[in-house]
Copies of this chain bind each other. A is one copy, B any other.
Amino acid sequence: MDYADMGGKSPSPFLPLTRDGLVDRVANSLAEAILSGSLQPGDRLAESTIAKQMDLSRAPVREALRLLESSGLVDYKANRGFFVHSLSVEALEHLYELRIVIETASIRRLIASNHQEAVKALRAQLDHLHELSSTGVEMAPHVDADMQFHRLICHYSGNPRFLQVFDTTANEIKLSVIYTGRLYADPALIAQTHEPIFDKIAQGDAEGAVAAMEYHLSDARRIVTGMFRKNQESKQK
């Protein structure tokens, strides 16, 4: 038997054996630190310091930082180095506007092509969200599951470019939620606000689903930017 060319799911008895390079591990580690809030926006990310802390040279750290830059988690200024990405209210507005464009476009393509498969996956993800809502108070898992629902929509659009655009926005959206505190007073609301979108998609009602998504994202934008503004004001004084 030839284990090399059995396309599809892992036919081999071995685990994927994730040979993540050093750079990826560094990037993941840094991303976690940023998304967990250990590092504040604007904080300097000195290469030497990080390299020393992780006990390796500056080269892989530098590459990891460049990677994070392209995913929007850090900013780079020539001859000045890397800093944890700082958000502004304007940037958030632009971000949500882009999300509306990409995710509504994804919905249209999704309904026109991959419908059956997509509905199944989205239903499963929604169920997962409902389960989560009864559990912990930790914010991160809820946000992740929320984002995953939206990501699935882009995935099942059938256009990898749509997913790519979504992914570039995803980290910044996560950042904004982390920094502004919880999105909804009750985590159970997260799952509920996605039901109307799913319903319309399941019915194959493209325009209805688009409208539901626009409403949902506009609402989220309103809440996030509102809290963001309040947060900044409280920091001023």
Query: Chain A interface (Cβ within 8 Å of chain B)?
Result: 19, 21, 59, 63, 66, 70, 78-79, 94-95, 97-98, 101-102, 105, 109, 159-162, 165, 169
Contacts and interface: CB of A to CB of B under 8 A. Distances in A.
Contact of A94 (B66, B101, B161): B161
A97 B159 contact: yes
Nearest to A102: B101
Contact of A160 (B79, B94, B159, B165): B94
B105 A101 contact: yes
B21 A98 contact: no
A102 to B, nearest CB: 7
Given A59-B59, A95-B161, 11 more contacts: A19-B78, A21-B78, A66-B66, A94-B159, A97-B159, A97-B161, A98-B161, A101-B102, A101-B105, A101-B162, A165-B165
Contacts of A94: 159-161
A9 to B, nearest CB: 15
Listed from nearest, the 4 A-B pairs whose CB atoms lie closest are A98-B161, A101-B105, A70-B70, A94-B159
Given A66-B63, A70-B70, A162 B102 contact: no
Given A21-B78, A78-B21, A98 B66 contact: no
Contacts of A102: 101
